[in-house]
Structure 1
Amino acid sequence: MKLLGRKAELPLDERLAALGEAADLAEGRLGGAAVDRARAVVARAGVRRSLSVEHTAVALAGATGSGKSSLFNALAGDDIAEVGVTRPTTAHAQAALWQPGRAESTGARASGAGPLLDWLGVPLRHMVAGGGGVAGWGSVAGGGSVAGGGSVAGGGSTAKRAGLVLLDLPDHDSIELSHRLEVDRLVGVVDLLVWVLDPQKYADAAVHERYLRPLARHRDVMVVVLNKIDRLPRRSASRCLDDLRGLLAADGLRDVPVLGVSARTGEGVAELRAELDRRVSRRRAWASRLAADAATAASALADATTAGNGSADGRPAGGGAPEVPVNRPRTRELVRALEQAAAVPTVVQAVAKAHRHRAVAATGWPVTRWMRRLRPDPLRRLRLSGAGDGRTSLPAASAVQVAAMDVAVRDVGTAAAAGVPEPWATSVRHAARSRTTELADALDRVVATTSVGVSRTPRWWRAAGALQWLLVAAMAVGALWLGVLFVLDYLMLPRPPTPTVGRAPWPTVLLAGGAVAGVLVASLCRVAAWLGGRRRARRAARVLRAAIEKVGNELVVAPTTAELTRYGRFAERVALAGS
């Protein structure tokens, strides 16, 4: 799964929504800087869209002595900004606003730009009128207009330029920290960036590494100007421009327009005005800037996800999130470990013994059956009756069983995290262990409440019991008959004729036959009880295994799967935000 990839262009709202969701999903999983940056982009987008979208904030940024302020004056058509040669003279950003030519229409447009400039934090404002007059706002906070005099030539047609808010920024390499912080702040929020470089320092690593390279995704809202080309022979100027284009390509800014200008002579200024007019007239620079910010923030989330995983192109190590969330062999090993920890083998043996115990008590020879009732029922002794009160008398899991269970839980998390990059893999492993403290109670409770089928009495038990009592009755009849005959002989009274079976008299047949038949029936019932106990033990093992597996799924597999699903959703949202 790719975290970032080029897809069809999505609407800005969808990309911002995807970025916000990705940041929420990454909360507590990735570094706070990347998450905070993504949320800041979403918040900034909401503010920027609520301000005037008819105005485009264009910033002139450059180093000390690059001629940035001179170019600002050339574009504005008047000496608005103070120009210095070697020391920084622009302490605060100032703005020039292009408005329609008629003075009476400037108020409405100015009021639209006022909140935007307030948000940008630019107090110095100058209004450039299309007809050549200028209403100077001076140093006005809050967008209030101040009627002012002055005559400024707007420089060419301003029909397309209406709505342009041109900012002259302090020097990014100023010796004053406040100047550099101001540049960093405004570079991060303006709609369009114009980097003003000069032939002597256009290859300076400071501007390339600190600004241009990190803004590689902002190529659509960037223009690069090589100023002071009047100081170079034409061939040298052409070589410098080609070299600058090569440096920008290395920074990831291959398609950025590169213009050679001279603020002093006016060479190339018209081309720069035309480029700005084209960008401003579209009224989409603000959206392109926000889209680039979203893509950069998404890239930062992707980098935070793939850092240290040997994947520089946004692909997680191991090929992405696995299609099968949890490894099945590891899950089976987990269930086996949980069965041992829950004493399922002991319960299964108790089920077989309880079945045999109850069968003998129900079908054994009635003469000796009462002795069986003196023995405790194996299941009742363990408090396993099927209905259960949530607790058993099973022995606690041994240290070896607990260790095996912990290893099985860790193996589930490790196997699930195999296809997930760090630090998400750590979250997946943690999710697998997040509810292990609940396992012991849950296992005991599920064993206590799971019906193992021993409460059902087989029908043949009743039939065998009835037969045994019939045989006992035959023995009693035979014994009573023999007793009567003995009394008659003792009293020397005549005996009635005694029927026989062959040579054996019926009373003897009833007494001896009932006893032998009773023992034989009891023996056969014991064999049947043993076989039935085996069947019930197997059935109980299946039922308990299913119950134990449900506990494992709920407390181990489900949290792991949820974390994998969260990562998959995060990767999808990042890909959408960065498309």
Structure 2
Amino acid sequence: MKAEQATLASRLTALDRVVDLSRGRVPDEVLAPADALIDRAGQRLAIAGDHTVVALAGATGSGKSSLFNALSETEFAKPGVTRPTTSEAMAVAWGTQAPTRLLDWLQVGGRHVIPPRSTVPDGLVLLDLPDHDSTEAAHRVTVDRLVKVVDMLVWVVDPQKYADSALHDGYLKPLAGHAALMVVALNQVDRLNPEQRRATMADLRRLLDSEGLAATRLVAVSALRGEGLGPLRELIADAARDKEITARRFAADIAREAALVGEALGSGPVPTLSRGDVSALHASVAEASGVPVVTEGVLQAWRHRGTLATGWPLITWLRRLRPDPLRRLRIDRGPGPTEVARTSLPKATPVQRARLDAALRQVIELSTMGLPRGWADRIKAAARSDRGVLADRIDAAIGATDLRMNSGHGWWSVVTVLQWLGIVAVLVGGGWLLAPLVLAVLQAPVEVPMLVWQGWPLPTLLVLGGVGIGVVFGLLSRVFVEAGARVKQRQAAQALTASVASVVDTEVIDPIRAELTRLAEARAAVERAR
């Protein structure tokens, strides 16, 4: 019994997990019965004692109360003219004391205790339910409530109304999953001759089998004459001896509710997003967010800064009058706090927005293919989150991306020093060459020494060497600066796309995958519950 209850508890936990995962995605009218079952079964299993509850249910005039008295060998139920319909549930418990907590939970007010007998196992509780076709709504409510919680049901029918649709469509068919835990007792067979009895029993058996109730036992009884009570008592006694019947009853309920929720969850494969699909979305968002503009700015900025650092200072100072391409976009403004919260990137063009929308639709279509409507709606809502918030976060991510503009230019300082050395050489050589003319104009009696190296005047060599250094290093630096600019552009494209992808994954892809994972977990929990 403990093992059976442990298994049942595990299945209840799985069903509870299904309900929890499905909230907001599966209609409430599908989840409500499962939710109620979880609560109902949990309360029933928490009640101590090995009691088995068997209920007699039937329509007005079926002789249900008479059969209740006959089975219990009491006169507690008042059938016939005195009370034509059973107005409230009544219980008879075999034992030394009433199972008060159980009967309180069942909300059964009329209760009696009779001593145990050798033919009736201790712990049996027999209920006489109100008539399920009563004109009193409260009576039907009581029947509907107790039918969901008793361990075994004995449906009492009479020869005139055994095929009544109110019974078969309202109760028997919906309870087909509990067929093995039900008995149909054809009462008042004393009114039938042998041929009529055989025909009626055969027709009733055929009807039950056609409704999925082949496992439901069928007995013929006469409460008035005591006919057939022995087999019925034995079936009830067997149920009382079966200490796993309560667990089996709720196990059938769990299987039924899990199947119903499982239908709402669908059975097709859970979609997956390929790396290519996600990368396409990343690229579209990056383009629409201005990443190409920034990478072009990186290229131009590296050229601009490299030329300023390595070009001939006497010429490149004019470039300082041009604005820095990156800082014009309010990107890479240097260390320290800034008052600007957003970049100055241009808005996406209509073509870029169209590509972004197409990529987003593709992701949504792939991730919702074959999904239940509730889950598909959640995924669409997740994918189409607040565009304004998404744009702000992407803009912030682009602005915060390290474009590595402060690394890889150590050689610029060396070239700058050499360029200035060349300028110094030109100035020294030029001044040396001009000194005799100046002294002559000033008629200063000073003679400027003229040194020669390899047949060349040293001042001339200084001028030519200084100019040569400027030209050669200027040309070589331009080649290396351009190569470095291309490398920086590629690195920036990778870093910026990764930053954009991180935001897109957080705001779009991760919520979609979370919903898909949630669906897969819900379906797995359904299988555990079933």
User: If the length of structure 2 is used for normalisation, what is the TM-score?
Assistant: 0.90
Matched letter for residue 342 of structure 1: S
Does 1:259 find its partner at 2:210? no
Deviation at 1:457, TM superposition (A): 4.4
Of residues 86, 93, 96 in structure 1, which corresponds to 2:92? 96
Q: Is the 8 A contact 1:428 1:560 kept in 2?
A: yes
Deviation at 1:301, TM superposition (A): 1.9
Long gaps (5+) in structure 1: 1-7, 100-105, 132-156, 307-315
Moved more, 226-235 or 344-353: 226-235
Aligned to 2:100: 114
Q: Is the 8 A contact 2:180 2:217 kept in 1?
A: no
Q: Is the 8 A contact 1:436 1:555 kept in 2?
A: no
Matched letter for residue 559 of structure 1: P
Deviation at 1:88, TM superposition (A): 4.4
Aligned to 1:123: 109
Q: Is the 8 A contact 1:62 1:196 kept in 2?
A: yes
Deviation at 1:17, TM superposition (A): 1.1
What are the residue-to-residue correspondences of 1:27-42 with 2, within 5 Å? 27-42=23-38
Deviation at 1:198, TM superposition (A): 2.5
Q: Is the 8 A contact 1:363 1:522 kept in 2?
A: yes
Deviation at 1:235, TM superposition (A): 4.7
Aligned to 2:384: 433
Separation in structure 1 between the aligned mates of residue 420 and residue 144 of structure 2, nearest angstrom: 100
Does 1:53 find its partner at 2:49? yes
Matched letter for residue 234 of structure 2: A
Aligned to 1:320: 269
Aligned to 1:554: 506
Q: Is the 8 A contact 2:258 2:526 kept in 1?
A: yes
Moved more, 350-359 or 39-48: 39-48
What are the residue-to-residue correspondences of 1:42-191 with 2, within 5 Å? 42-84=38-80, 88-99=84-95, 106=96, 109-110=97-98, 113-130=99-116, 157-160=118-121, 162-191=122-151
Write the deviation string for residues 324-379 of structure 1: whole angstroms up to 9, x where unpaired. Answer: 3x243331221012102321001100111111111101100111121122222111
Aligned residue for 2:76, secondary structure, equals: coil
Moved more, 528-537 or 401-410: 401-410
Aligned to 2:471: 519
Separation in structure 1 between the aligned mates of residue 176 and residue 387 of structure 2, nearest angstrom: 46
Identity over aligned residues, as a percent? 45
Moved more, 446-455 or 483-492: 483-492
Separation in structure 2 between the aligned mates of residue 245 and residue 463 of structure 1, nearest angstrom: 103
User: If the length of structure 1 is used for normalisation, what is the TM-score?
Assistant: 0.83
Aligned to 2:183: 223
Deviation at 1:38, TM superposition (A): 2.0
Structural RMSD (CA): 2.7
Separation in structure 2 between the aligned mates of residue 328 and residue 236 of structure 1, nearest angstrom: 73
Aligned to 1:290: 250
Write the deviation string for residues 63-119 of structure 1: whole angstroms up to 9, x where unpaired. Answer: 2222222211210123332323899421112122222xxxxxx2xx22xx1222222
Moved more, 397-406 or 376-385: 397-406
Deviation at 1:42, TM superposition (A): 1.7
Of residues 310, 313, 317 in structure 2, which corresponds to 1:363? 310
Q: Is the 8 A contact 1:427 1:563 kept in 2?
A: yes
Matched letter for residue 108 of structure 2: V
Deviation at 1:398, TM superposition (A): 4.5
Does 1:417 find its partner at 2:368? yes
Deviation at 1:407, TM superposition (A): 4.5
Does 1:348 find its partner at 2:344? no
Matched letter for residue 102 of structure 2: L
Matched letter for residue 126 of structure 1: H
Write the deviation string for residues 215-240 of structure 1: whole angstroms up to 9, x where unpaired. Answer: 12222422222223333344543443
Long gaps (5+) in structure 2: none
Deviation at 1:505, TM superposition (A): 4.0
Separation in structure 2 between the aligned mates of residue 123 and residue 570 of structure 1, nearest angstrom: 40
Aligned residue for 2:496, secondary structure, equals: helix
Aligned residue for 2:175, secondary structure, equals: helix
Separation in structure 2 between the aligned mates of residue 88 and residue 422 of structure 1, nearest angstrom: 50
Aligned to 1:202: 162
Separation in structure 2 between the aligned mates of residue 498 and residue 50 of structure 1, nearest angstrom: 113
Taking structure 1 as reference, are residues 441 and 283 closer, same or farther at Cα in structure 2, changes over 3 Å only? same
Deviation at 1:278, TM superposition (A): 0.6
Deviation at 1:489, TM superposition (A): 5.4
Separation in structure 2 between the aligned mates of residue 280 and residue 118 of structure 1, nearest angstrom: 20
Taking structure 1 as reference, are residues 424 and 455 closer, same or farther at Cα in structure 2, changes over 3 Å only? same
Taking structure 1 as reference, are residues 72 and 358 closer, same or farther at Cα in structure 2, changes over 3 Å only? same
Of residues 5, 12, 15 in structure 2, which corresponds to 1:19? 15
Write the deviation string for residues 459-511 of structure 1: whole angstroms up to 9, x where unpaired. Answer: 32122222212221221122011112323555497664552666x64433432
Matched letter for residue 415 of structure 2: A
Deviation at 1:534, TM superposition (A): 0.9
Matched letter for residue 393 of structure 1: S
Separation in structure 1 between the aligned mates of residue 313 and residue 505 of structure 2, nearest angstrom: 48
Separation in structure 2 between the aligned mates of residue 65 and residue 17 of structure 1, nearest angstrom: 42
Q: Is the 8 A contact 1:64 1:87 kept in 2?
A: no
